[in-house]
Amino acid sequence: MRWPLADHNRLILKHLRLGDGVQRAAATSIARTGILRVLNPYAPLIVGTLPIDVHLPDSDVDVICHVKAPKAFMALLVQRFGDQQSFTLGRTTLQRKPAVVCSFRHRRTLFEIVGMPVATHTQRAYVHLMVEAALLQETGAHAAIRRLKRQGLKTEPAFTRHFKLAGDPYQAVARLGRRKSVSG
């Protein structure tokens, strides 16, 4: 399951529309909020567990963005999504970079938007999505990953446990991605 970068969101939305109830609800909420159109200046990419079918019923829609001006980005988020249920907005540091994190709920769907001063296709969330999608396509381990997630593991720790990858789960998945891009 590889998506050409130019078609990434379109193909993921198509996949979500054909998926289970959680995925279909997410696709509907993505369309109704206009989130991709609103965030278009920030090169948004949908990432996370929903596109690769290892989500749980309460999984969120993760959207990453390339943000150079955090104040303007935050103002846009407040303006466009501030009235949504459970809206939160803050700043943090992710992977040693300043980041803006926003979450809100639209109907049944929880969104998490992360903006960083890093091109979206090089952000760790995108790299992990591509590595995890490739592993799942090769092995069909969807049910095993969901089972580990139901036991309380986050996605990357579930992958590292199932595939017996050593070290920090987030770094191990990223390392695997570097190896795959070199060898594959």
Domains of the chain: 5-183 (3.30.460.10)
Average pLDDT along the chain? 92
Structure tokens at 131: 């590595």
Q: Which amino acid is at 88?
A: T
Angle between helices 169-183 and 124-139 (to 10 degrees): 70
**What does the pLDDT average to over 166-170?**
90
**Contact 47/79 with Cβ under 8 angstroms?**
no
Nearest CA to 30 among 109, 83, 89, 104? 109
Burial of 61 (0-12, 13-18, 19+ CB in 10 A): buried
- The pLDDT tens digits for 60-115 are 999 999 999 999 999 999 999 999 999 999 999 998 999 999 999 999 999 999 99
**Contact 178/131 with Cβ under 8 angstroms?**
no
- pLDDT surpasses 60 at 181: no
Structure tokens at 130: 């591509």
**Contact 127/75 with Cβ under 8 angstroms?**
no
- pTM for the full model? 0.93
